[in-house]
Structure 1
Amino acid sequence: MSADGLTAEKEEFWLFGYGSLIWKPPPHFDQRVPGYVTGYVRRFWQVGRYQDHRGTPEAPGRVVTLIERSFWETLDDHHPSGSDRVWGTAYRIQPDKVAEVRDYLDIREINGYTVHYTDFHPADGSPVIKTLVYIGTPDNEQFMGPQDPQKLAEHIYTSVGPSGPNKDYLLCLEAALDGLSPESGDGHITDLASRLRGIEKRLEPVPSPDQEAIERELEKRESIDGLEETEKRGL
């Protein structure tokens, strides 16, 4: 990697994804490697892209960012962070597509995020890889800082934007992390997802058995009526 942080066309360019990039990868990658970085904490403390990514300007959704552990330790956070590892996925971009992908990422990630470089540790013990990562630092106006977990889960549950419900982002991230490694779970993400499912259960009750029986009977009746009509027509 060159001294100014830019990657020459024939040098390897790796990107670290710790949020939606885990399940929605960038274009033109030829290697995908699960692993982790150290020295950071992942938190749902960033307003979504352009404030309408998973919400609206009036009610912006939330997405994750990385916070330097040394700074996070000075904050009053409701969630502990026992592990020094933030799991995610590193992607190697095809050399002739690096410029194109950089432009794509600047559009996708740049609002409130800045470019950083960090060491990535592959899960299989392979040598460390220097990766680019987009981080929403605390000095950007999209950074929200510590929030009450229940209020944050409720906000995520109610937020919807052009990219879909904010809750889908949270649940997809939980599932994606669980699929990387037996060690790749994130307590902050898991707790928020659990709270969200509790909200769903409370506000979206399952139909009663009697109602389900009625619906099954109606479906059966419609099926019988359709069969009788077909027989009448001699079909």
Structure 2
Amino acid sequence: MSLQGPAPKTDEFWLFGYGSLIWKPPPHFDRRIPGWVTGYVRRFWQASQDHRGTPEAPGRVVTLIERSYWEKLADHHDSAPDKVWGVAYRIIPEYVAKVKEYLDIREINGYTIHYTPFHPATGIDPALLPQHGPFLTLVYIGTPDNEQFVGPQDPQKLAEHIYRSEGPSGLNRDYLLELEKALNVLSPESGDEHVTDLANRVRAIAARERKRETGIQTDNAILSSQFPVVVSPEQAQQRHHHDFRRGSSIDEQEETEKTS
């Protein structure tokens, strides 16, 4: 993994999570601070071959795009909040090396290490913070030059892709819906239009699929009533004999169990 930007001049190790790290935190942390970073846009533009998809059928997960780069692209979601909300975690000092190793494995699929200023949400106890005001946090970003970066996509096609993708960590749509829920509880202003729009589309797809499956079941029931299976007298006698024998065998087994 490459290292981008200057490392913080402090002994404390803080990690910024803007995706699954919000609701699935790293091990060995002792502080969890909601807040935001600026200068970035969050997008589902990173392929996932190891968590929410497979190498043959990659899913989609979020990455951060530098706003100056994003503004040059033709994105169907043409607006984005100035603040990218997420969570900063302070890792217990004696576990920093272990957690870094864990994160390198978890985020290995195209992500690189960067450092960015993190702004704590208002109302946080100052005693929990390393300093007054913003402080540097480590963040994993899938930059546009990594092999898993897919770039702008049609929102409906992206939602369909997310709905149907699955990997070792579970359904891709669960990742999207969990992210939406996790963001909405951080702050009244922490929602993300890109995430919410995709989540609404995925819910509409799920409703459509349920309706389609219900329709198929209804059609099958109607066909069964209109075209019942015709059984010959010989088949009926064979079924009756088979059911009688099966019932007798079960009765005999039950009686044996009772007397044993």
Provide the residue aligned with 2:128 in structure 1. Answer: none
Which residue of the other structure, out of 188, 204, 208, is the alignment partner of 1:202?
A: 208
Provide the residue aligned with 1:36 in structure 2. Answer: 36
Moved over 3 A (4+): 4-8
Which residue of the other structure, out of 143, 146, 167, is the alignment partner of 1:140?
A: 146
Matched, 1:150 2:156: yes
Which residue of the other structure, out of 49, 52, 55, is the alignment partner of 1:54?
A: 52
Provide the residue aligned with 1:191 in structure 2. Answer: 197
Gaps of 5+ in 1: 212-235
C-alpha displacement of 1:7: 7.0
Q: Give aligned pairs, total.
A: 203
Q: Percent identity?
A: 72
Going from structure 1 to structure 2, the CA distance change for 1:117 and 1:6 (only over 3 Å counts) comes to closer
Residue by residue over 1:88-145, the C-alpha shift from the partner in whole angstroms, topping out at 9 and shown as x without a partner, is: 0000001111111110100001220110000000012652121000000000010000
Provide the residue aligned with 1:230 in structure 2. Answer: none
What CA distance in whole angstroms lies between the structure 1 residues aligned with 2:58 and 2:190?
28
* 1:66-145 correspondence runs (5 A): 66-124=64-122, 127-145=133-151
C-alpha displacement of 1:6: 5.5
Tell me the TM-score normalised to structure 2 length.
0.74
Question: Please, what is the CA RMSD of the aligned residues?
Answer: 1.9
Please state whether the residue corresponding to 2:44 is helix, strand or coil.
strand
What CA distance in whole angstroms lies between the structure 2 residues aligned with 1:5 and 1:79?
32
Gaps of 5+ in 2: 124-131, 219-260
> Do the aligned partners of 2:8 and 2:136 also contact (CA within 8 Å) in 1?
no
> Do the aligned partners of 1:110 and 1:134 also contact (CA within 8 Å) in 2?
no
Rg larger in structure: 2
Please state whether the residue corresponding to 1:204 is helix, strand or coil.
helix
What CA distance in whole angstroms lies between the structure 1 residues aligned with 2:159 and 2:45?
12
> Do the aligned partners of 1:41 and 1:81 also contact (CA within 8 Å) in 2?
no
Going from structure 1 to structure 2, the CA distance change for 1:99 and 1:6 (only over 3 Å counts) comes to farther
**Amino acid across the alignment from 2:39:** G
Provide the residue aligned with 1:19 in structure 2. Answer: 19
C-alpha displacement of 1:80: 2.3
